Structure 1
Amino acid sequence: MGNIRFFRRKPLDFNPETTLEFIPAKAVNVDEFLFSPVLAGLWKQHELWDGTYTLDDLLDINELLEVKQENQRRAVEAAERKAGE
């Protein structure tokens, strides 16, 4: 039957860059993965608990946020390369 992934989700086809010039602060009392759509302004905090969204919704929105961040990073990198020509 082959490999079965958790929720049968396909992995992203890129690894996010980790060339930071600083060590980012991390929340120690809050689940950052769970709250990331709230921090992005896409969901309200109570929607995490009231059944508005499913676990699949949470996985989808986090994937989209990661893809958005990667695309923004690539766009900035391409603009910097073009400016350097």
Structure 2
Amino acid sequence: MPFEPYVYPTIDAFAYAPVAAGMWRQHEVFDGTYDFDDLLDAHEIMAVKAINAKRAQEAAERRNR
């Protein structure tokens, strides 16, 4: 059975991604703490972290062969 991630049924997953990642608190999404540029930066940070984690895992797997 393929992996099918469950999606947030009632919230904007793009807007709340930094909250789900533990980078921001929920109230900061709408209280003016961050703006749209901050949201885009947060997504870039999360993407780079995910890519680097995947690369590190792949490198470790190659070393263990």
In structure 2, what is the equivalent of residue 45 of structure 1? 26
Aligned length: 64
Once the two structures are aligned, what percentage of the paired residues are identical?
50
TM-score by length of 1: 0.71
List structure 1 runs of 4+ shifted beyond 4 angstroms.
none
5+ long unaligned stretches in structure 1: 1-20
TM-score, length-normalised on structure 2? 0.90
Q: Which has the higher contact order (CA 8 A, sep 6+)?
A: 1
> Which structure shows the higher helix fraction?
2
Aligned equivalents of 2:57 and 2:41: distance in 1?
Answer: 24
Q: Which runs of 5+ in 2 are unaligned?
A: none
CA RMSD of aligned residues (A): 1.0
